[in-house]
Amino acid sequence: MSLVTTEEGAAVKSICILGAGYVGGPTGAVLADRCPGVNVHVADVDAGRIGQWSQGPLPIHEPGLEVIVSRCRGRNLFFTTDLGTAIDGAEIVFICVPTPTKAHGKGAGMAADVSAIEQACREIKAHARGYKIVVEKSTVPCGTAASIAGLLQGDGAGAFDVLSNPEFMAEGTAIADLSEPDRVLIGAHPSGTSAAAQERLVGVYAQWIPRERILRMSSWSAELGKLAANAMLAQRISSMNALSGICEAVGADVEEVALAVGRDRRIGGAFLRAGPGFGGSCFQKDLLSLVYLARTLHLDAVAEYWAQVLQINAWQQGRLVDTVVARLHGTVAGKRVAVLGVAFKPGTGDTRESPAIGVVAGLLREGAVVRVHDPVVPAKGIQRALGGAVEVCADAYAACEGADGVVLCTGWEEFRALDYARIHGRMRRPANLFDACLLLDRAPLERLGFSVFGIGKGRGK
């Protein structure tokens, strides 16, 4: 069994992960799997969640995760509610706690809420005896590494170096993203005081990631690099969604435009899919955090620039609602509209910031009777996301019963395989299908008698 050796010759044998959620769980599992010489303790205050990680079923759905957890659990991967022992027993402590958008006080609705980070630091300070490398993995506002260092300073029994090592995993592909990342950022104090700690963490990742993909930089660059990557991905989507409006108006096809643009190797084809807008817990939160940073730095033009990416996202959902209303003869009041898909993207049961939320809210405001179905999100989760005014249906056919319109809000593969003749048979005439995800082939649906609207598909005018 090879231990991790570093330029300083020290071997890392123990890692503690604080937070057993979407980030901490998969990160701990892959670290344990790829570094058999390292004991990984994943610690969380939530005993229920730790119980699920320890005994199953796992609290999050992530392809490939279960196999890794069962291979490593009890060998060098442990789940615990005993934060103190896990912290003190580790050489490296990863902070993987949530940083949602602040709900109250200064910066509410924009700044990231870092109270869980502060709490984690207080736990680390209380329990650490001796030297620890503290790694911020959660997505945080720029400057957080410095504020973590400040929190850890003082009269405790520990000594600390703080590194920024932002996560780049997307839901549904977390294991692949962790196993074969495009890059790993390891940010250290700009003056170089934590350079040795940086090398130790490089040594951990180098066990399975080619060294040229492990990038050393300052903490500020790593923190801003993470926000910038998400902001630029979101910007590409908003760019295509903005163009989708033009396509519909002039008779162009947004998928053809995406092809034309994406085939330029300098641009590339990823994240150019127009749709109902981006969702999830990351893009909006990180854009808001970037806009807030720019505003606090009095860089108003910069703040406005990134805020536009969010505005286009909201506009796209509003535009979809307007299209449904227009195509249903100017009003949806009292009419049944089925919404298929509530998850923010296919492959996840997560509904956070899902485009369906904005679309359903708009339809309800217009007086529609909204029935929804999602193949993965449970009824309770749907109602938590959309409120009690919607009727949750066990299958797509029930949702479409008597409907004037069907709106596809998540591009689930399952929706391709639906029996559209059966759906058409249950709907009121004319039967309108709004494909916001560009999932379906239009011609066979039109042959069945549907009036089909595809986002950014000018041909349907």
CA distance 99 to 103: 11
**273 contacts ligand UGA (rule: CB under 6 A):** yes
CB 278 within 8 A of CB 410: no
Structure tokens at 258: 């995406």
> Minimum distance from CB of 261 to ligand UGA (Å)?
12
Per the annotation, the verdict on 282 as an active-site residue is yes
Residue type, 417: A
Q: Identify residues 226-245 at the interface with ligand UGA (CB under 6 A).
A: 230, 233, 237
Q: In the chain, what's the furthest Cα-to-Cα distance?
A: 75
> Minimum distance from CB of 344 to ligand UGA (Å)?
5
* SS3 at position 436: coil
Q: What is the DSSP code (8-state) at residue 223?
A: H
Q: In what order do the strands lie in the sheet with 432-435?
A: 391-392, 369-373, 336-340, 405-408, 432-435, 451-454
Among 225, 279, 358, 454, contact with ligand UGA (rule: CB under 6 A): 279
Give backbone dihedrals phi and psi of 22, rounded to 5 degrees, phi first.
-60, -30
Q: Identify residues 328-347 at the interface with ligand UGA (CB under 6 A).
A: 344-345
**168 contacts ligand UGA (rule: CB under 6 A):** yes
> Minimum distance from CB of 228 to ligand UGA (Å)?
12
CA distance 429 to 440: 20
**312 contacts ligand UGA (rule: CB under 6 A):** no
CB 223 within 8 A of CB 187: yes
CB 148 within 8 A of CB 132: no
Among 275, 362, 456, 458, contact with ligand UGA (rule: CB under 6 A): 275
> Minimum distance from CB of 455 to ligand UGA (Å)?
10
Among 170, 176, 228, 398, contact with ligand UGA (rule: CB under 6 A): 170
Of 99-107, 151-159, 165-173, 374-382, the window that binds ligand UGA (rule: CB under 6 A) is 165-173
Q: What is the DSSP code (8-state) at residue 100?
A: P
Of 97-105, 119-127, 168-176, 393-401, the window that binds ligand UGA (rule: CB under 6 A) is 168-176
The H-or-E segment that residue 247 falls in is helix 219-250
Among 283, 292, 412, 434, contact with ligand UGA (rule: CB under 6 A): 283
Q: Which of 16, 96, 121, 282 is catalytic?
A: 282
> Minimum distance from CB of 418 to ligand UGA (Å)?
20
Handedness of CA 297, 301, 305, 310 (dihedral sign): positive
**158 contacts ligand UGA (rule: CB under 6 A):** no
Interface residues with ligand UGA (CB under 6 A) are 139, 167-171, 230, 233, 237, 271-273, 275, 278-280, 282-283, 344-345
User: Active-site residue numbers?
Assistant: 282
